[in-house]
Amino acid sequence: MSNPFIASANVSVVKVDGEVIPGVQSIEWKIIRNRQNVYNIGSQERVGVDVGPLYVHGLIRVRSTSTKLDELLLKEVKDLKPVQILVQTMLRTAKVKDISFDDAYVEEKTFSIDSNGVGISVYTFTATRVRET
């Protein structure tokens, strides 16, 4: 039986191309597999599925803003290159697991500030795959 995956967010680190992103509040992602239902003509019941591409969609929440992520988002089209996003999960002082997002692109940023005065930037990224080691 494998050990459960338990990590502490306050000591885990997010890196983009090896550079630590300061102020990360959270990271979340989902793996999406495009899928289409297949039906027989005149039938309402599915008879199969057509499976398409798989990709990763994620969000990184950062207190205030991230210079590195802003630079990646605002690059000229001709200068766009994929990056690697690495999450080093920790439990106290011990590394639990590395989660790597390959061929990632920063695609969007939203910013909000609430009545407590804490600004939060949310960066959206996509990646070709996610690997856990």
pTM here is 0.84
Interior angle at CA 74, CA 70 and CA 77, nearest 5 = 145
For residue 120, is it within any domain? yes
Domain around 36: 8-132
Is 31 contained in some domain? yes
Write the CATH number for 46: 2.30.110.20
Higher pLDDT: 88 or 93? It is: 88
Q: Do residues 111 and 81 touch, judged by C-beta distance below 8 A?
A: no
Encode pLDDT of 70-87 as tens digits: 999 999 999 999 999 999
Q: SS3 for 92?
A: coil
**What is residue 1's predicted lDDT score, i.e. its pLDDT?**
47
Q: How many domains does the chain have?
A: 1
